[in-house]
Structure 1
């Protein structure tokens, strides 16, 4: 397929149509829940690639984000609390990092079984809540967000709800599978759509020509501009590179938020 590099928006918005975004969110919640239910007791303490997080801490974060997805009021309350904490401490870090750390700390007393049961309860409400958010609400700017690499950019609520919450959960499903030595469930109609959206945003962010060939069930081939370099790698490894889990070089050093 051919991808053109769009101009960078002043406020980043989701490029997925809302119905597709809702379908992807519901499926990703189901797949992550299936993974949690399949874990052995020893798996929960295995370290992940996210510094300081084992599988259980990652699941606690994902539970917190699902609860936020079910309630925009709760999400904004957590975000504002993180901003107040930053101001009180004189800055440093990012509001997102502070929010996710609090999500893990607040659920430190939950057992693995507690987390699975709560996620099973919350996930359908999160999927439905995100699906029902109207277009005017999704268009609201939520301010500047600090990316993993340190850059800051303004997002709309719709970009957070329709794109980031699903990408984040998807990437953490890949993280968990790597931590416990499992092959993730990947299909073209779900993971392939998620990866294609990441590729389109990545192309828009770097704006340079290339041919990208991603292998695996979530992969594909993209001709971006003309006469650029050929990049070939696994689809999941591409997402690891652009999410800055593994530092890429050249165009693969272009960050895409997850």
Structure 2
């Protein structure tokens, strides 16, 4: 039996200024993480099966280049769609394959070059484009749902490097820089989406610099803020059986 389709395309809850501030800071923090890696770190395995740190960085570079250029975005999408597998898997595989000959230093240098343009392009995406539906659907919590392009550009394209920053920090032992004014805002948006998706009462306490208490009724849940998000992303058991896309 096919999964049901959610009725309305998902839109970003963050206001544009906040979304772009988070995007800018996240690109900067991911770049700083890459710049601090040792030569041995790049071959270390991550929580994403089959991906070492270098593959993960190549994927994030490919995503930044997609964000920075409409032409490059269309090229990558067309190339991924020409393959036989699930679109997002084919897209990330393409990004890694196309950068297989780059050295870690070249990846870092290119990431530093392209991410300011990625933020600029995301910021300049007009409202009528952000309101359009993305092609295809996403399978989340057993249901197919549609996303607007705005949900992709304002939310997912920032959550993705944030979660992979967590992955690389865990893989290498590098410090995970966390602050309330950046990571706390990002986590709060995740919590609000998680709450809306399951629609049940809860009292959630998240610990750490990105933490806080949300809700006032229902079962009492307590997690480290980063571990909570890892669980929602599929890197653990999602609280209240409700995942959130990253």
Q: Where on the TM-score scale, by shorter chain, does this alignment land: which range?
A: over 0.9
Contact kept in structure 1, 2:178 and 2:209, CA below 8 Å: yes
CA distance in 1, matches of 2:205, 2:24: 28
| TM-score (ref. length: structure 1) | 0.89
Which stretches in structure 1 are left out of the alignment for 5+ residues? 1-7, 87-92
Correspondence list, 1:68-217, <5 A: 68-86=66-84, 93-147=85-139, 151-217=143-209
Contact kept in structure 2, 1:79 and 1:96, CA below 8 Å: no
1:15 matched to 2:13: yes
CA distance in 1, matches of 2:40, 2:142: 34
Shift of 1:150: 6.0
| TM-score (ref. length: structure 2) | 0.93
Cα-to-partner distance string for 1:28-77 (whole Å, 9 max, x where unaligned): 00000000000000000000000100000000000000001112342233
CA distance in 2, matches of 1:230, 1:72: 45
Shift of 1:9: 6.1
Task: Find the counterpart in structure 2 of residue 254 from structure 1.
Answer: 242
Select which of 192, 204, 222 maps to 1:232: 222
CA distance in 2, matches of 1:206, 1:15: 16
Which stretches in structure 2 are left out of the alignment for 5+ residues? 1-5
In the TM superposition, structure 1's runs of 4+ consecutive aligned residues that sit over 3 Å from their partners are 147-151
- Matched residue count: 241
Contact kept in structure 2, 1:142 and 1:154, CA below 8 Å: yes
Change in Cα spacing, 1:178 to 1:213, as seen in structure 2 (3 Å) is same
Contact kept in structure 1, 2:140 and 2:244, CA below 8 Å: no
Contact kept in structure 2, 1:66 and 1:119, CA below 8 Å: yes
Task: Find the counterpart in structure 2 of residue 243 from structure 1.
Answer: 233
CA distance in 2, matches of 1:28, 1:84: 31
Task: Find the counterpart in structure 2 of residue 52 from structure 1.
Answer: 50
Indicate the structure whose relative CO is greater, using CA pairs within 8 Å and at least 6 residues apart.
1
Contact kept in structure 2, 1:142 and 1:155, CA below 8 Å: yes
Change in Cα spacing, 1:120 to 1:215, as seen in structure 2 (3 Å) is same
CA distance in 1, matches of 2:142, 2:99: 27
Shift of 1:152: 2.5
Contact kept in structure 1, 2:141 and 2:242, CA below 8 Å: no
Pick which of 195-204 and 142-151 moved more: 142-151
Task: Find the counterpart in structure 1 of residue 3 from structure 2.
Answer: none
Shift of 1:205: 0.7
Shift of 1:239: 0.4
Pick which of 124-133 and 137-146 moved more: 137-146
Task: Find the counterpart in structure 1 of residue 26 from structure 2.
Answer: 28
Contact kept in structure 2, 1:144 and 1:152, CA below 8 Å: no
